[in-house]
Amino acid sequence: METNRQIAEQMIALAYPTIPISNDTKKLLASLLVRIDLKKKDKFLNKGEICKYIGYVQEGMIRQYYYKNNKELTEHFACEKTIFICIESFLRQEPSNLIAEALLNSVVYGVSYDDLHKWGRENYELETVFRGWLEDSLVLSQRKTDSMRFETANERYHRLLREHPEVIRLAPLSEIASYLLMTPETLSRVRAGVL
C-alpha cells in the first residue's frame, strides 16, 4: 500500500512533472490528503452538493455525469492515477450540477478547497501545483469539446480506445456511448466496424 507521501508525489507529477517541488511541499500535501473509500455506485458528490475536494483516483474509476431530459449523460471518466474535479462547484463553492460516482470499488484521495486556499497563500509551490491541476482539467475539457466538434463517431471511439482502454474495458457500453455523445446503437456499429 502506498503512503500519503507517495500519493502526494504522484499528484504533484500530474501537475508539473518537470518542475522541482521541495520535500516540505510534498510533506505538506501528504498531510492534507483525505482518503475516501467508495464502493461501486457510491457517490463522491451528489447533484446539489458543493464539491469540497479535488480528487485523485488511486484505485478504481469515477464517472461524472448529469441528467438532461431525465437521461444520464456522462461528462467524464476518471481512471486510476488521475485527478478529477467538478470545477465550477469547486472553484465557486456552489452546488454542483454534476454527480461523481464510483464506477468500481475505488480509493480516492481528496484535497479540500479550504486547505488548498489556506496553504496555497502560504506556500507558492502548492499554489503552483493547484494551478497545474486546474490547467489540466481545462485542457481536458477543451480536448473533449474539440473532439465532439471536429471528430466523427468512429474517431472519437478510437481516441478513447487509444488513450483510455480501461474505460472501454470496464465501463458499461451505455455510459461509454453517452460520454462519446452517441447512441448505444451507433456505438455498436462503430465497434463492429460498420462506421
Cβ(57)–Cβ(82) under 8 Å?
Answer: yes
Distance, in Å, from the CA atom of 72 to the CA atom of 101, rounded to the nearest integer, reads 12
Sorting pLDDT into bands at 50, 70 and 90, what band is 126? very high
Closest CA to 78 of 68, 87, 89: 87
Tell me what the mean pLDDT of segment 146-160 comes to: 93
Res 2: pLDDT = 86
> Looking at residue 70, what DSSP letter applies?
T
pLDDT in tens, 49-93: 999 999 999 999 999 999 999 999 999 999 999 999 999 999 999
Q: Cβ neighbours of residue 91 under 8 Å, at least 6 residues apart?
A: 134
Give the mean model confidence (pLDDT) for residues 5-28.
Answer: 92
- pLDDT tens for residues 127-142? 999 999 999 999 999 9
3-state SS assignment for residue 71? strand
* 62 Rama sector, left if φ>0, alpha if ψ -120 to 50, beta otherwise: beta
Task: Answer yes or no: are the C-beta atoms of 24 and 92 closer than 8 Å.
Answer: no
Going from N- to C-terminal start, the domains of the chain cover 4-140, 151-195
pLDDT over 90 (residue 102) = yes
Class for the domain spanning 4-140: mainly beta
pLDDT tens track for 181-195: 999 999 999 998 865
Please classify residue 163 by burial: count the beta carbons closer than 10 Å to its beta carbon, then call 0-12 exposed, 13-18 middle and 19+ buried: exposed
Phi, psi of 183 (to 5 degrees): -75, 160
The rounded distance, in Å, linking the Cα atoms of 100 and 64 is 4
Grid coordinates representing 139 are 485542457
Q: What is the CA radius of gyration of the chain?
A: 17
Predicted TM-score (pTM) of this structure: 0.92
Edge-to-edge strand ranges of the sheet holding 82-84: 34-38, 106-112, 53-59, 82-84
Residue 1 has pLDDT above 90, yes or no: no
Q: Residue range 95-112: average pLDDT?
A: 97
User: Which amino acid is residue 8, in one-letter code?
Assistant: A
pLDDT of residue 194: 65
User: What is the pLDDT of the chain when averaged over all its residues?
Assistant: 94
- DSSP annotation of 50 reads B
